[in-house]
Amino acid sequence: MNFQAPDASPVFDLRAYLLGSWSVDRTLLDRATGTGGTFTGVLRYSGTDGPAIEIGTGADSPRDDGALSFHEEGTISWTPVHGKPFTGPASRDYLLRPADSPDVLEMYFPDGRPFHRMGFAERSSHDQHWCDPDTYRVSYTMIGPDEFRYSWDVTGPAKDQLIETVLRRLGPPPAGHGQPGSQE
């Protein structure tokens, strides 16, 4: 395999890189109270199928529209300042759509509202999201072909948090979706 990091190749395909299942290890820190927690689970990036009209037939046929479904589930543990520690199931979903280049994806909430841009190249590895009244700043870092990290620095009048996540690939990418920079 001839893996190339995003800044080393103008044809880095973020979608191909993400496809598949990843283990998730997350730490959560509330800087205002000093409390923290963890999340462990699995994140699955999978292609989405949308209707497409076959030229000349007018018939619908399934196609891959370039988007990715983001589905994460696992267990969260949180120890509040006062009260009983909590451990329980947690999950979330997003949709990632192609952006202006293959090394960037636009992330959306399930209801279609924009969330932020995702990428690993220097120009696209940082973004922010305003969630009234707080600002969420994200930073993505690729560690290698099978590991990446991101952190959210959340600041504002309501929150002061640091959320750090490490993802590691579980098994090979799906068949037909080679690593970016590969000669497949």
Task: Write out pLDDT tens, residues 84-142.
Answer: 899 999 999 999 999 988 999 999 999 999 999 999 998 889 999 999 999 999 999 99
Residue 112: Cβ-neighbour burial (10 angstroms; 0-12, 13-18, 19+): exposed
The total of other beta-carbon atoms located within 10 Å of residue 119's CB is 22
Residue 87 sits at the vertex; the CA angle it makes with 91 and 135, to the nearest 5 degrees, is: 55
**Chain segment 27-42, per-residue pLDDT in tens:** 999 999 999 999 999 9
Residue 70: Cβ-neighbour burial (10 angstroms; 0-12, 13-18, 19+): buried
Residue 140: Cβ-neighbour burial (10 angstroms; 0-12, 13-18, 19+): buried
Q: In angstroms, rounded to a whole number, what is the distance separating the alpha carbons of residues 39 and 164?
A: 10
The more confident residue out of 178 and 163 is 163
pTM: 0.81
How high is the mean pLDDT of the chain? 84
Listed by start position, the domains of the chain span 6-50+60-169
pLDDT at 9: 55
For domain 6-50+60-169, give its CATH number from 3.90.1150.10, 2.40.128.20, 3.40.50.150, 3.40.50.170.
2.40.128.20
Residue 15 φ then ψ, to 5°: -60, -50
Confidence of residue 82 (pLDDT cuts 50, 70, 90): confident
Segment 56-83 mean pLDDT: 74
